[in-house]
Amino acid sequence: MSAGWLSIVGLGPGDAALVTPEVTAALAEASDVIGYFPYVARVAPREGLTLHGSDNRVELDRARLALELAAKGARVVVVSSGDPGVFAMASAVFEALEAAPKEWRDLDIRVLPGITAMLAASARAGAPLGHDFCAINLSDNLKPWALIEKRLRLAVEADFAMAFYNPRSKARPEGFARVLNTLRDVCEPERLILFARAVSTPEEELRVVPLAEATPEMADMRTMVIVGSSRTRLIARKGNPLLYTPRSVPEGTA
């Protein structure tokens, strides 16, 4: 059996200028690229490369296919948008690996990092994640809603800035409305919220509003939501204001 390998890579948020050279090199050597259709579509076809696009919500099938092909000697790249380790394919591949034949564990498996959505959105808006923060996946496909609610309340108590992945989908239109209600319960109405849609693509749209003005419709499947900490501020200027969280917290705060 020839030396197959599997690299689980991040393509970044959309712009080719945000793909690392490491990921570009892995794609250039691949025999097979596997992932959700729109991400696979970001890889240029070429001779000797098979593109395996698949639908959303079949992460484990996709992961098993990737392992199987690598075990047969293929040079396999699994693509995620953003970073593969943040609410993306890396954990799915490891879940599949645990359920797979034991000898597959010794395959050459690597994870190659990418620019994750929250950091692309943060950069575009200023630096809202410039102090302690957390990242929460708002999808309740894979965890109970009560746990999301609990984490939101604890994160606000800790005064973390918060980055929300998957805030809203067609299958869960009401979830993000519940999140906003929870936030209204525990945060001041002036709390700043960034809605960053399709960052680094031609459809990019940024909007910063105080919590009091935030509505569920401001987020869709392509939106990253960042809720500031109590210390996050805006610098007004011509064009988009700058949203940032200062590095320091005064003594006596805890």
Sites for a copy of itself among residues 54-73 (CB under 8 A) = 59
248 lies in the binding site for a copy of itself (CB under 8 A): yes
Whole-number Å distance between alpha carbons of 166 and 175: 10
Among positions 28, 41, 154, 186, the unique one binding a copy of itself when judged by CB under 8 A: 154
Comparing CA positions, the residue from 164, 120, 122 lying closest to residue 139 is: 164
Total length of the chain: 254
3-state DSSP: the chain helix, strand, coil percent, rounded to 5? 35, 25, 40
Residues in contact with a copy of itself, total (CB under 8 A)?
83
Which span (20-28, 48-56, 167-175, 201-209) binds a copy of itself, by CB under 8 A? 20-28
Which span (68-76, 127-135, 182-190, 201-209) binds a copy of itself, by CB under 8 A? 127-135
Among positions 65, 67, 111, 225, the unique one binding a copy of itself when judged by CB under 8 A: 111
Q: Which of residues 28-47 bind a copy of itself (CB under 8 A)?
A: none
Bridge partners of residue 112, in order along the sequence:
9
Q: Which is nearer to a copy of itself, 14 or 168 (CB)?
A: 14
CA distances 168 to 71, 96, 146, 221, Å, are 37, 27, 17, 6
Among positions 1, 55, 146, 170, the unique one binding a copy of itself when judged by CB under 8 A: 146
- DSSP code for 172: B
Closest distance between a copy of itself and the C-beta of residue 175, in Å? 15
Tokens of 112: 């190659």
